[in-house]
Structure 1
Amino acid sequence: MTTTAENFRTVYGKPPAGVWAAPGRVNLIGEYTDFNDGFVMPFALPHCTRVAAAPRTDGRLRLYSRDAQGGVTEEPRGWAAYPAGVAWALREAGLPVGGADVYVESDVPVGAGLSSSAALEVATALALTELYDAGLPGPELARLAQRAENAFVGVPCGIMDQMASACCRAGHALHLDTRDLSMRQIPLALEQWGLRLLVIDTRVKHELGDGAYAARRAGCESAARRLGVRALREVACGELQAALGELPAAERALVRHVVTENDRVERVAALLAAGDARAVGPLLTEGHASLRDDFRVSCAELDVVVETAVKAGALGARMTGGGFGGSAIALVDGADEERVTKAVTEALGTARVFGTAAGEGARRVA
């Protein structure tokens, strides 16, 4: 098997100056809270996007993806908008980033809700800043990658995915406060407790989800304004019922999910810190019910795999990512992994199931 550096040489006829990698992520708990200044707890996947790059003196950005059809491009369209947007965001921030030849390859599943776009953004940002000796700390790298997706690509995403890709540590989940980007690395060595985390990629995507993110974000922001708070993270669980009484029906369910989900993140963090990982399972299932019933971002396929996994013995399961397809996760005893996997794949023929562990964040690999 050829290396990323060798593939770069084949495309561009010269060696790269280096190879950088950034992972996809699984969000253990804390969904649709990041744009509400809330709490999230992702961890990095072993699956990565790798970027090989070499500087150019003419300021041009040439891009090639092993996984996309077509040859070298300078057009910021489709997949190429993400690395092009990163270059734009870095330059707009005043960083001395010039031109580059960039080669991209990835084993992060696309469309699975595992943040393949953030992995591409962060790997590109790390490559370009190191090429031009403009290295940035992980949180700032993530902020600029998010800006590229928001302002250049036009996707109003929160900061979680980029922070996870840039800042996660192997064997840990990242407890992140998305308001001030303060973070704690919480041990997530599930194998020490005899547990496994399964990722269940439904391999389906419903078109209904295309505008759902923006619509729900707008609903949450409207509710915050009605409640007189900067963001919904300021509404405590003890204040929830009173807050719901001040809102129109269309916004109550959104607020209920965000407030209770923030609480679930804090409870999961406390359980993991105490070494009681098994007790995390029911909170995952509770979170799925909230995403299904209150935020209404699940779909039939996700509901089937979550319900099937729990019935087959999983300690808990929930959708992860934006919903309307994509992936779910299931926390299982190691001895039950095969049984749960079999039940899920029989219930949903398209499903692809793999066990995973918390991987390393963005770094230079060659």
Structure 2
Amino acid sequence: MVVETVMSSFSRAFGRDPESVASAPGRVNLIGEHLDYNGGRSLPIGLPVRTYVAVAPRTDGRLVLVSEQSPDRMEVAVDAPDVGGWAAYVVGVVQALGLAGTGYDVLVDGRVPLGAGLSSSAALECAAGLAVADAAGATPSREELVAAAVRAENDYVGAPTGALDQTSVVFARAGHALVVDPAGGSHRLVPWEPEGQLLVIDTRAEHSHAGGEYADRRRTCDAAAAELGVTRLATAGADAVERLLDPVVRRRVRHVVTEEVRVGQALDAVEARDWQGFGRLMTASHASLRDDYEVSCRELDVAVEAALDAGALGARMTGGGFGGSAIALVPAGLGDTVRDAVTAAFADAGLAEPGFLDGTASDGAVVEVGRS
């Protein structure tokens, strides 16, 4: 139904049918935050909420872009060196895939909430990359799609992210979590079917990877790795943490080192179906992100505390932080109770009403309608 709606929207916008439609999910990270650029493992899942991109080729070297979430219609050269706003993610990935030799009409229906820390930018990049490639008759591998999306975000948009979001968005699978290990460039699927439900809490506090705080954390970690003489900070070990003299750097590194340990324990808990143990690790991860890495905020802390008080097995912020979303592992039958408790806590704190999304593990990026 959604695909048909997107195709109809494209036809109204451009007066012709699209040749390709692709979609990609938002994602949450269950545990392993800020580890991808420190050589540590992460455990993300794809979400049911998705971004859809419909495409038809042009012959004039222009990109014409419209979005169901924006009133603006943009037209730029397909090889433009500098484009602002959401269009940059599309232009960047088209160029990174080497498909800038022609033009495209592009319609975006981005149903992943913006600024919620759910990888809306990666979903847009990967859906756009798949749709444009299919419309151009190209067949990049999934690894090539991930690499192009990362280049688009790093080099074109200017956000110094790792590859976790794009890898998650492309390789996610329903009923599974993805173990992403940047040390070997590997990823593998593990069953993820918890008892109860995973609740995603959109705090409405927007965040951005292009901001200075995220880049500052990366610089601090890179400098600490050089000081300790390690290539992967996540493997530095607890003893190395205490050798760092600067107390702020010590806290940052402590989070990285202890979070890597928690990921290993979380994988053991998933295999044993120990959901209470997994929940405790989620909560410990949040405390580390809040106190040592200092990337939480008032809204995230209120969401986590309210969910735990209402009976969640565990809760934590997810994503880069400084706003965005939290997740809560909720026993069966307590979903409404946790939602009501979080909503009431936000009202009591004078905060905007939060949103809630289904956290069921879902499939990754896919061509929904192709030329063939």
Whether the TM-score (by the shorter chain) exceeds 0.5 is yes
- Deviation of 1:248 after TM superposition, in Å, equals 2.2
In the other structure, the counterpart of 1:332 is: 330
- Deviation of 1:209 after TM superposition, in Å, equals 9.1
**1:90 equivalent in alignment to 2:92:** no
Out of 52, 56, 61, which is 1:59 matched to?
Answer: 61
Confirm or deny: 8 A CA contact 1:96 1:132 kept in the other structure: no
**1:130 equivalent in alignment to 2:134:** yes
**1:284 equivalent in alignment to 2:282:** yes
Please list the CA deviations of residues 98-148 of structure 1 after superposition, one character each: whole Å capped at 9, or x if unmatched: 321111002101111101010000011111222223222222211110110
**1:78 equivalent in alignment to 2:85:** yes
Out of 166, 170, 173, which is 2:177 matched to?
Answer: 173
Task: Tell me which amino acid in the other structure corresponds to 1:13.
Answer: G
**1:115 equivalent in alignment to 2:119:** yes
In structure 1, what is the Cα distance between the partners aligned to 2:363 and 2:116? 20
Task: Tell me which amino acid in the other structure corresponds to 2:22.
Answer: W
- Deviation of 1:364 after TM superposition, in Å, equals 1.1
- Deviation of 1:179 after TM superposition, in Å, equals 2.6
In structure 1, what is the Cα distance between the partners aligned to 2:167 and 2:121? 13
- Secondary structure of the residue that 1:365 maps to in structure 2? strand
In the other structure, the counterpart of 2:342 is: 344
- Deviation of 1:230 after TM superposition, in Å, equals 1.4
Out of 353, 358, 362, which is 1:355 matched to?
Answer: 358
- Secondary structure of the residue that 1:162 maps to in structure 2? helix
In the other structure, the counterpart of 2:71 is: 69
- Deviation of 1:247 after TM superposition, in Å, equals 4.1
In structure 1, what is the Cα distance between the partners aligned to 2:242 and 2:148? 35
- Deviation of 1:96 after TM superposition, in Å, equals 7.6
Please list the CA deviations of residues 51-72 of structure 1 after superposition, one character each: whole Å capped at 9, or x if unmatched: 0001122332221111112124
In the other structure, the counterpart of 1:250 is: 248
- Secondary structure of the residue that 2:321 maps to in structure 1? coil
In the other structure, the counterpart of 1:160 is: 164
Give unpaired runs (5+ residues) of structure 1.
none
Confirm or deny: 8 A CA contact 1:205 1:326 kept in the other structure: yes
Q: 1:207 to 1:280 in 2, by over 3 A?
A: closer
Confirm or deny: 8 A CA contact 1:125 1:141 kept in the other structure: yes
Q: 1:152 to 1:338 in 2, by over 3 A?
A: same
- Secondary structure of the residue that 1:48 maps to in structure 2? strand
Task: Tell me which amino acid in the other structure corresponds to 2:148.
Answer: L
In the other structure, the counterpart of 2:189 is: 185
Confirm or deny: 8 A CA contact 1:129 1:136 kept in the other structure: yes
Task: Tell me which amino acid in the other structure corresponds to 1:20.
Answer: A
In the other structure, the counterpart of 1:46 is: 48
In structure 2, what is the Cα distance between the partners aligned to 1:242 and 1:149? 33
Task: Tell me which amino acid in the other structure corresponds to 1:65.
Answer: S
Confirm or deny: 8 A CA contact 1:208 1:324 kept in the other structure: no
- Deviation of 1:8 after TM superposition, in Å, equals 0.8
- Deviation of 1:234 after TM superposition, in Å, equals 2.8
* Higher mean C-alpha displacement, 128-137 vs 309-318: 128-137
Confirm or deny: 8 A CA contact 2:160 2:210 kept in the other structure: no
In the other structure, the counterpart of 2:231 is: 230
**1:221 equivalent in alignment to 2:222:** yes
In structure 1, what is the Cα distance between the partners aligned to 2:62 and 2:207? 37
- Deviation of 1:255 after TM superposition, in Å, equals 0.6
**1:149 equivalent in alignment to 2:147:** no
- Deviation of 1:273 after TM superposition, in Å, equals 2.0
- Secondary structure of the residue that 1:334 maps to in structure 2? coil
- Deviation of 1:90 after TM superposition, in Å, equals 1.4
Please list the CA deviations of residues 190-217 of structure 1 after superposition, one character each: whole Å capped at 9, or x if unmatched: 2xx3x11111111123799931100000
Out of 296, 299, 315, which is 2:297 matched to?
Answer: 299
Give the structure-1-normalised TM-score.
0.93
- Deviation of 1:288 after TM superposition, in Å, equals 0.2
In structure 2, what is the Cα distance between the partners aligned to 1:325 and 1:197? 19
Percent identical residues: 48
Confirm or deny: 8 A CA contact 1:226 1:247 kept in the other structure: no
**1:33 equivalent in alignment to 2:35:** yes
In structure 2, what is the Cα distance between the partners aligned to 1:116 and 1:148? 14
Q: Across the two proteins, how many residue pairs are aligned to each other?
A: 357
Task: Tell me which amino acid in the other structure corresponds to 1:174.
Answer: L
Task: Tell me which amino acid in the other structure corresponds to 1:118.
Answer: A
* Higher mean C-alpha displacement, 326-335 vs 282-291: 326-335
Give unpaired runs (5+ residues) of structure 2.
78-82, 348-352
Please list the CA deviations of residues 140-188 of structure 1 after superposition, one character each: whole Å capped at 9, or x if unmatched: 2111101100000000011111011111011111011023331111111
Confirm or deny: 8 A CA contact 1:49 1:116 kept in the other structure: yes
Confirm or deny: 8 A CA contact 2:32 2:259 kept in the other structure: yes
- Secondary structure of the residue that 2:18 maps to in structure 1? coil
Q: 1:207 to 1:40 in 2, by over 3 A?
A: closer
Give the structure-2-normalised TM-score.
0.92
Provide the aligned C-alpha RMSD in A.
1.9
- Deviation of 1:46 after TM superposition, in Å, equals 0.6
In the other structure, the counterpart of 2:80 is: none
- Secondary structure of the residue that 1:318 maps to in structure 2? strand
